[in-house]
Amino acid sequence: MRLNVQMAKPEDYPELWRLFHDTVHHVNRRDYTPQQLEAWAPEKVDLSHWSLRLEGINPFVVTIEGKIVGFSDVQADGLVDMFYVHHAWQRKGIGSRLFTEIHHKAEQMKLAELHSHVSMTARPFFEVHGFHAVTPQQVTINGVTLKNFLMRKTLSV
């Protein structure tokens, strides 16, 4: 199984929304209520707003035989804003491949640290990849409060 990485294109954005939505609702349901999941990833979305968000973070995707199975990004300040692996492709190396690309980009940008706001569900995976929880957080999305963690990872520059 060959995992390819490429920059997301605007025509990929609707597919990335569906991957994001479905992953949140399938994978995170063990840690969040249905109300929290709907606030985080509502069924109805303004795709123009979603597209603007993605344009702002410039995500990259992992594909297998042309199918997008995960996406992420890394920002100039070291923020990993989005990190999602298709719910049907969990535990198949996609997340690790995303982290390989994040580290490659971080090295190019000469970043000393990465940080992210990580769900309860993803926390153990981020810890396996060298992140540590700095603090638990209560965030409000669409009027609903969810718990996540600010996590950091120091990089060797």
Three-point CA angle 94, 6, 18, nearest 5°: 65
Mean pLDDT to the nearest integer, 129-148: 96
Asked whether residue 37 carries a pLDDT value surpassing 80, the answer given is yes
Asked whether residue 23 carries a pLDDT value surpassing 80, the answer given is yes
Is residue 67 included in any domain, yes or no? yes
- What CATH number does residue 55 fall under? 3.40.630.30
Asked whether residue 50 carries a pLDDT value surpassing 90, the answer given is yes
Burial of 89 (0-12, 13-18, 19+ CB in 10 A): buried
Query: Could you read off the pLDDT of 108-125 as tens digits, one per residue?
Result: 999 999 999 999 999 999
Query: Could you read off the pLDDT of 56-93 as tens digits, one per residue?
Result: 999 999 999 999 999 999 999 999 999 999 999 999 99
Asked whether residue 40 carries a pLDDT value surpassing 80, the answer given is yes
For the chain, give the mean pLDDT.
96
Is residue 34 included in any domain, yes or no? yes
Is residue 121 included in any domain, yes or no? no
CB 68 within 8 A of CB 17: no
Is residue 131 included in any domain, yes or no? no
Domain housing 107 = 4-111
Mean pLDDT to the nearest integer, 34-41: 97
pLDDT of residue 157: 62
Is residue 24 included in any domain, yes or no? yes
Q: Report the number of distinct structural domains present in the chain.
A: 1
Mean pLDDT to the nearest integer, 15-19: 97
Is residue 152 included in any domain, yes or no? no
Is residue 123 included in any domain, yes or no? no
Is residue 148 included in any domain, yes or no? no
